[in-house]
Amino acid sequence: MENEIIRIINDLNNYGFSSSNVKEILDESEIKYFEEISVSYSQALKEVKIKSRIEEINKNNTNKVSKYKIYEITHDEFLNEPLTLDNLPLLKLYLSKNILKIAKSYLGNDIRIRNPLAWIHPATSLTREIRSQKWHRDQEDSKMLKVFILFSNVNENNGPTQYVKSTNSSGTFKNIAPNMTWLDSHWSNRNKFIRRAYNFFREKFPYNYSIPKKNIVKATGDIGCIFFIDTNGLHKGGFVKEGLRLMTHCNFLNAKAPMLQKGMPLEKFNHDEKLFSIDYESQAFMSLEDEAKAVLK
């Protein structure tokens, strides 16, 4: 297991991308969280509400004013409440000792967790790339780590995430396109400016040179495959052409990341009450180890 962790860290430093399997990363006491989430997915897919949402997305019938994204179902829809430490064990999964070890080795010892999400991505006939389906850099920080875990088999037709290796801040192609330019500007409405910055990166990305096609890798794999990706490097989501993609996600950032600072969108873990709700006075939180408590600040 130690050799696997070293390999992943080396891959991240060189390419911004690595993959493994939960059986290689989680210990015996942690694998149960993966199994419990698998059961939750199975139960969710039997619910009338979720079946209806899947059909809605299949037929591209999502209302334009819907509060939901037109191509995905997020955990709050099948939990019928925000993520906590007591319902879906998603946070416990991502607080795995080895996942934290990898994140700290790549980002530094003082890290934070943000946006743990569980998704259902149904098939859609949409062909126009929108939002995160376009090549872009995430702008939380110039070095960051997102960890994706597959709860279904994902092939070319299930909309795998695509990544251009070595476009991370320490990679060979780090200068392929602008990065973190929003830090050079001053603004009165930070959230509005950041939204504009993201739209710019997704709509009018000014490349300094062409994307090296040989460096494009796709996050395909079987159930239990785990991907470690520095999404400040160029990446995009895909179209699910058939079946479902079941996948979880969590964002790890250095505590000094610009978007974690006071007044910024990710300052607090509970920054979106619809999706996240940690009670810092609860027994569930108090029973966590100090390392876990620290990353959930």
pLDDT tens for residues 70-102? 788 999 999 999 999 999 999 999 999 999 999
Q: With contact defined as beta carbons under 8 Å apart, do 110 and 254 qualify?
A: yes
Percent of the chain exceeding pLDDT 90 equals 75
pTM for this predicted structure: 0.92
Q: Quote the pLDDT of residue 189.
A: 43
Residue 116 has pLDDT above 60, yes or no: yes
Q: Where are the domains of the chain?
A: 2-295
In the block, residue with structure tokens 């210990």:
27
Give the whole-angstrom CA distance, residue 82 versus residue 73: 13
Q: Quote the pLDDT of residue 200.
A: 47
Q: With contact defined as beta carbons under 8 Å apart, do 15 and 145 qualify?
A: no
Q: With contact defined as beta carbons under 8 Å apart, do 168 and 231 qualify?
A: no
- Segment 119-137 shows an average pLDDT of 81
Q: Which CATH superfamily is domain 2-295 in?
A: q2cbj1_9rhob like domain (2.60.120.620)
Q: Quote the pLDDT of residue 63.
A: 63
Q: Measured in Å, how far apart are the chain's first and last C-alpha atoms?
A: 29
Q: State the pLDDT confidence band at 169, using cuts at 50, 70 and 90.
A: very high
Instruction: Tell me the DSSP string of 191-212.
Output: HHHHHHHHHHHHH----SS---
Which of 24-28, 110-114, 163-167, 195-199 has the weakest average pLDDT? 195-199
- Segment 55-83 shows an average pLDDT of 81
Q: Quote the pLDDT of residue 173.
A: 96
Residue 195 has pLDDT above 70, yes or no: no
Alpha-helix residue ranges (DSSP H) falling in 75-152: 75-79, 90-94, 97-107
Contacts of 134 (CB under 8 A, 6+ apart): 202, 203, 205, 236
Q: Quote the pLDDT of residue 133.
A: 73
Q: With contact defined as beta carbons under 8 Å apart, do 249 and 229 qualify?
A: no
Residue 197 has pLDDT above 70, yes or no: no
Residue 34 has pLDDT above 80, yes or no: yes
Q: Quote the pLDDT of residue 65.
A: 45
Q: State the pLDDT confidence band at 142, using cuts at 50, 70 and 90.
A: very high
